[in-house]
């Protein structure tokens, strides 16, 4: 069965600083990987997804993530944090072929300090 581990339930960064949210996955077959963002009192919104086409994936709002098979990682980054980036971020994994089921991580709350 596939799983993801998000390191750090809370991350604080200063406005303008680099955002780095960590995600490691476990899967016995090639994975699909996702990052979702949840703003307060809203549903989750897809930021970006990795589906094996390219290891560096660019998403919305200036975010990107790099798939590193050797490290089983899919960390989310943004060069410069904005106040509007404050939200909760979820990493998720699914597997190619057969029965499709997405497993979500426990989430990381990003605080942006002015």
Partner 1 sequence: DAGVIQSPRHEVTEMGQEVTLRCKPISGHDYLFWYRQTMMRGLELLIYFNNNVPIDDSGMPEDRFSAKMPNASFSTLKIQPSEPRDSAVYFCASSLLGPNYGYTFGSGTRLTVV
* CA 56 to chain CA centroid, nearest Å: 13
Report the candidate in 44, 42, 68, 40 with the shortest Cα–Cα distance to residue 56.
68
The reply on whether position 94 binds partner 1 by CB under 8 A is: yes
Site for partner 1 in 31-60 (CB under 8 A): 32, 34, 41-46, 49, 51
96 is a site residue for partner 1 (CB under 8 A): yes
Cβ neighbours for 48, distance < 8 A, ≥ 6 positions apart:
34, 35, 57, 58, 59, 60, 63, 64, 65, 76
Altogether, the residues listed in the chain come to a count of 114
Question: Can residue 111 be called a binding residue for partner 1 (CB under 8 A)?
Answer: no
Site size for partner 1, by CB under 8 A? 21
Reading the block at residue 93, the tokens are 């994994």
- Which secondary structure element, helix H or strand E, spans residue 46, and what is its range? strand 44-50
Minimum distance from residue 103 beta carbon to partner 1 (Å): 9
Please choose, out of 10-18, 20-28, 77-85, 104-112, the segment that lies near partner 1 by the rule CB under 8 A: 104-112
Binding to partner 1 by residue 67, rule CB under 8 A?
no
Interacting residues toward partner 1 by CB under 8 A: 32, 34, 41-46, 49, 51, 90, 94, 96, 99-102, 104-107
């Amino acid at each position: 069965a596939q799983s993801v581990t998000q390191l750090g339930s809370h991350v604080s960064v200063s406005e303008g600083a680099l955002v780095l949210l960590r995600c490691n996955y476990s899967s016995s077959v090639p994975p699909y990987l996702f990052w979702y963002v949840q703003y307060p009192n809203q549903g989750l919104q897809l930021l970006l997804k990795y589906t094996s086409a390219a290891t560096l994936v660019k998403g919305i709002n200036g975010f990107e993530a790099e798939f590193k098979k050797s490290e089983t990682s899919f960390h989310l980054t943004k060069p410069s944090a904005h106040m509007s980036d404050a939200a909760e971020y979820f990493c998720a994994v699914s597997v190619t072929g057969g029965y499709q089921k997405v497993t979500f991580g426990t989430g990381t709350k990003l605080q942006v300090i002015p």
